[in-house]
Structure 1
Amino acid sequence: MKLTLFFKVLYRSVFGFLIIISISCKENQEVKTTFNSKILPEIKTSLDDLVRVWYPISIDSINGGFYPDFNNKWEKEGEQKKMLVTQARHIWTASALASFYGDSKYEKIATHGYHFLRDQMWDTKYGGFHTLLVNDRDSLKPAASTKSSYGNAFAIYGLAAYYGISKDSTALNLAKKTFYWLEEHAHDPMYKGYFDVLHLNGSWMLDVEENDKEYDNFIRKDWKDQNSSIHLMEAFTALYEVWPNPLLKERLEELLMLIRDTITTPKGFLTLHLERDWTPVSFKDSTETYRTENFWLDHVSFGHDVETGFLLLEAAQALYHQKDSTTMVIAKRMVDHGIDRGWDMEKGGFFDGGYYLDDSDVCTILNPAKIWWSQAEGLNALLLMSQLYPNEKEYYELFEKQWQYINEYMIDHTYGGWYDEGLDSNPEAVQHVKAQIWKVNYHNIRALINVIQMLEGRFKLTNNEH
């Protein structure tokens, strides 16, 4: 009798506990759904609007590839030079959209871009891709005085994405060919990593002392840098996912560790430029005038920092097929540093650049501009951190504030597209061009796609099934 009573009490206790757990889980799910339903439709609509404003207007059906130059009202206006980075980013974007929407029209756009890249931008004499083509009467001719690892990285990035949706083996072969060209010409077997600025034939420029031929980026010829490094890593990650080659894996892991453990400082920001042996290039001890003149060579770039946090995690996932604890610590530190030092607490948004002027912990904001691509990368990184660290609620709160900032100050609700700078930091941006060779759509379209997938629970870096 006592035993029967005991089991009755036990049954009721367990049953009651399970009900509580069930209600609790349901409540948590409802809270999560409330968050998602509030913002997800807005972001989906914004992506649709952004895509429609870029395509098909940017498709150049006359010369091939894509038009880069549009004024603030999306009228074609400018020289319409064909830069490798611009063209390759369009291929990546169209390929990503083909996959995201499941719509073949974007694959056709990507194919159009691929044919131009393959037929017009590859250097048939020296190999590698030309950096820039300009109109010369009825044809296009190379106009750059150097080649760029950074540019060739984006070619790989676009080609790998295009192969992913088309299964066109010629595109994959061209990506492989570009990787091996970089291996032969740009990779440093002694100190590792890659030089960005190369002769047209691919040789290094270490022995060039005078800029008598007006070389592009001459001041950077002997250095390595974070920007080409992070985008080589990004490109190799994409290529490795469709071509798991042992040498490619070795180079991808090499870049991951260089960026994570050497280029990223202990505080959590990237050193912009470094000597061949990875000694940081710093103007801290120079005059204020000299530092200001060379700001672009040495500062804290908050946009690159939060972007790299994401790219490191993406590379580690491709390499190890699981979350890598060391990389997660560094990536989180980079995003946290961006929030702590470069975030506008009042209106939201990430400032462009700061500087540690002395050995204190104070990072002075030297350029308060809020550049469009930094805001896109910040949106992506904040939601990623909120899902990787769900107990730290401030990430999601900042993500929502960042979206509100973008929606209010960055998106042109009259003509479409994003301004190049937030209207709070520069009201004149309303009159600026909507597109040029350095302002294309991969940063913001990628961010919006990633955010949608995260909110829907199907993003590969946060989905536990991957």
Structure 2
Amino acid sequence: MGILKDMLNEFENNLIHKWYPLVIDKQYGGYFTNLAYDLSLMPEQEKMIVTQSRHMWTTSKAAKFLNNDMLYESALHGLNFLKNQMWDERYGGFYQIRNREGKVSDVEGWLEEKRTYGNAFAIYGLSALYELTKNNDALELAIETFNWLEERAYDPLYKGYFQFLTREGKPFGKNDSHKTNATDAVEAGYKDQNSSIHLLEAFTELYGVWRDNKVRERLEELLVLIRDKITHPKGYLQLFFERDWTPVSFRYASPEIRDANYRLDHVSFGHDYETAFLMLEASYKLGLKNDTATLYTAKKMLDHAIENGWDNSSAGFFDEGYYYSEEGECKIIKHTKNWWAQAEALNALLLFSKIFPNEKRYYKLFLQEWDYIKKYLIDHEHGDWYWGSLEKEAHYKTAPKGTIWKATYHNGRALMNCILMLSDEDSELFQSNEKFRELKSEFDDFIGHWQKTSVQAVEK
């Protein structure tokens, strides 16, 4: 089986149709969250705004990609739960988590707190749903969420957004009267790359369906912020920042303090090349001409990941590295290889092989990455992907396939994009699906735009 048919079979039969309509909660609405290793539904079924929105986004995109009515209905199914159970009617904004019925949940300790990250994904999913269905409720709720973030989480002084919000939508940190017991409490009070890149992603999706000047302003502002401040000159994302965007680093602290604050300060290769793609997507959607600065930084981020995070012996990207000194090399500190980072690698490597066809290593590594995923991450017996590579963490063979942090968004998007890039006029989907041909044309325009930009960069 050729790589295109291989990927299409994986996307359609081993991922999408394994999850949908299985995770449709017909009793309470929304999508089931927790799936066991064999994709059976688990007893506890809390619902986080991130996961709910990712299901909505994936089914919205896959419905058009596969021209599938079941997926269309699956995407639309999620709207009422977001609107009626996850949206806070009193104070606005989306709760970070609710229980299966849509009431307070104590999972992860968020209770009725809100996070900008979660609200960003709501915008992302709702915008994709509107693009598919033209359902005005979806667009209106996406716009209302954008305006809520603008009023509550946006920092007019230093730009960017605060991540930690009370139920009322008030930003808080470690020294404020509101004390959180959530599992992410160590991050309270900081600005961060992760919410920033997913706001970029969400505003890109929203701007595609709502050409609002304020959305455009914030989208371009985030693009510049991520490209020029959050990304280190070496080509990796710095993770956490003070309000004025001073990076948080424990490089020169004692080993005990550095270890205690590990999650605030390391190199996450998967986020780096995922962001490389998201920046190119944002710049393209904005219609920026000759944006060589964004292309240069995006390429630098992927190249840094390849040079420092690629496993030359087994293939795949390691999860995390660390610079113990500014001048030293990046040391691998987490040798595992989780599913989402390997999925994002497929998309980035193939994309850059198209933009820079003379740099042969991108396509070579893409092929190696896909072989690695098939060998160690895809569950060929039960379906879907393991959380982590069995080469590194064999226990994931019997670990849950679905959680609040794991659904179909990363590998679904990566496979759809790769299939679009690998398809030609003779391919099965191109021949049979007019909607796929539209998507193919749009993605070809995207690649062509950056190919032209790369030539202009060389000429300069």
Task: Give TM-score, length-normalised by structure 2.
Answer: 0.90
Amino acid of the residue matched to residue 79 of structure 2? Y
User: Is 2:82 the partner of 1:117?
Assistant: yes
> Which of 92, 117, 133 does residue 150 from structure 1 map onto?
117
Report the AA paired with residue 103 of structure 2.
L
SS at match of 1:129: coil
Aligned to 2:330: 363
The 5 A counterparts of 1:55-454 are 55-135=20-100, 140-141=103-104, 143=106, 144-206=111-173, 208-209=175-176, 212=179, 214=181, 217-320=184-287, 322=289, 324-454=291-421
Distance in 2, matches of 1:141 and 1:389, equals 50
Aligned residues: 428
What is the rounded CA distance, in whole Å, between the counterparts of 1:219 and 1:380 in structure 2?
A: 32
Alignment-mate amino acid for residue 65 of structure 1: G
Take 1:261 and 1:243, find their aligned partners in 2: how far apart are those partners? 26
- Cα distance in structure 2, aligned partners of 1:425 and 1:289: 26
Displacement after TM superposition at 1:204 (Å)? 1.6
Rounded to whole Å, the distance in 1 between the matches of 2:243 and 2:350 is: 35
Q: Secondary structure at the match of 1:164?
A: helix
Residue 6 of structure 2: aligned partner: 42
Distance in 2 (alpha carbons) for counterparts of 1:282 and 1:155: 31
Deviations for 1:124-169, whole angstroms, at most 9, x for unmatched residues? Answer: 000001111025xx76335524210000000000000000010111
Percent identity, please.
Answer: 47
Larger mean CA deviation between 382-391 and 207-216 belongs to 207-216
User: For 1:153 and 1:413, how far apart are their aligned partners in 2?
Assistant: 33
User: Aligned partners of 2:206, 2:89: CA distance in 1, in Å?
Assistant: 22
Shift of 1:218: 3.2
Deviation at 1:321, TM superposition (A): 5.5
- 8 Å contact kept, 1:205–1:221: yes
Say which is worse superposed, 174-183 or 47-56, in terms of deviation: 47-56
How many angstroms apart in 2 are the aligned matches of 1:428 and 1:322? Answer: 48
| Other structure's SS at 1:354 match | strand
Would you say the 8 A contact 1:316–1:323 is kept in 2?
A: no
**Residues 302 and 351 in structure 1, CA contact (< 8 A), matched pair in contact too:** yes
Contact 1:70–1:78 at 8 Å: present in 2 too?
A: no
- Supply the AA of the counterpart residue of 2:351: L
Q: Which amino acid aligns with 2:75?
A: A
Q: Contact 1:198 / 1:205 at 8 angstroms: preserved in 2?
A: yes
Residues in 2 aligned to 1:212 and 1:146: alpha-carbon distance in whole angstroms: 11
Work out the CA distance in 2 between the residues paired with 1:56 and 1:78.
18
Gaps of 5+ in 2: 425-439, 453-460
Distance 1:464 1:186, change over 3 A: closer
Give the distance between the partners of 2:268 and 2:102, measured in 1 at CA: 38
Q: Which 5+ residue runs of structure 1 have no aligned equivalent?
A: 1-36
Q: From the CA coordinates, give the structure whose radius of gyration is larger.
A: 1
User: Structure 1 counterpart of 2:247, which letter?
Assistant: P
- Stretch of structure 1 that moved more, 138-147 or 259-268: 138-147
Aligned equivalent of 1:462, options 424, 435, 447: 447
Q: Is the 8 A contact 2:163 2:171 kept in 1?
A: no
8 Å CA contact 1:268, 1:333 repeated in 2: yes
CA contact (8 A) 1:341 1:363 kept: yes
1:172 to partner: Cα distance: 0.5
Give RMSD over aligned pairs. Answer: 1.8
- 8 A contact 1:211–1:218 mirrored in 2: no
**8 Å CA contact retained: 2:164, 2:173:** no
Give the TM-score normalised by the residue count of structure 1.
Answer: 0.89
Residue 294 (structure 1) shift: 2.2
**2:355–2:448 Cα contact (<8 Å) kept:** no
Q: Which amino acid aligns with 1:131?
A: Q
